[in-house]
């Protein structure tokens, strides 16, 4: 079973052989077989696997969803739609069992 904890500020991630120990700012400690680091560009978990500094790609991504009812009816909703140009791209596709239409715009900043 996988347990997801939110609103936790990670202070320390320690490798203990075949397990990991995570100590949070509120004093809580978690021991697990694996840790997924989704704690941002200055990730505590990243420091365990790489000692180099993050490097900017100079790209920005904006994401958003709209209700599928607001999407034009002529689109094939089983497809991923991509628009690609110099230093930018837009990707559109259905999510949440076709209830929403996701859009991601990526461009050089």
What residues act catalytically? 63
Radius of gyration of the chain from Cα atoms? 19
Cα distance between residue 99 and residue 55, in whole Å: 36
Structure tokens at 42: 């200055």
In sequence order, the β-bridge partners of residue 60 are 107
Nearest to 36 by CA among 24, 50, 20, 52: 20
């Amino acid at each position: 079973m996988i347990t997801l904890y939110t609103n936790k500020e990670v202070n320390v991630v320690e490798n203990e052989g075949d397990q990991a120990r995570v100590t949070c700012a509120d004093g809580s400690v978690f021991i697990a077989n694996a840790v997924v680091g989704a704690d941002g560009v200055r990730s505590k978990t990243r420091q365990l696997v790489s000692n180099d500094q993050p490097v900017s790609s100079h790209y920005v991504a904006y994401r958003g969803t709209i209700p599928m009812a607001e999407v034009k009816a002529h689109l094939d909703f089983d497809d991923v739609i991509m628009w690609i140009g110099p230093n930018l791209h837009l990707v559109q596709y259905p999510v949440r069992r076709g209830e929403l239409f996701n859009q991601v715009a990526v461009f050089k900043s």
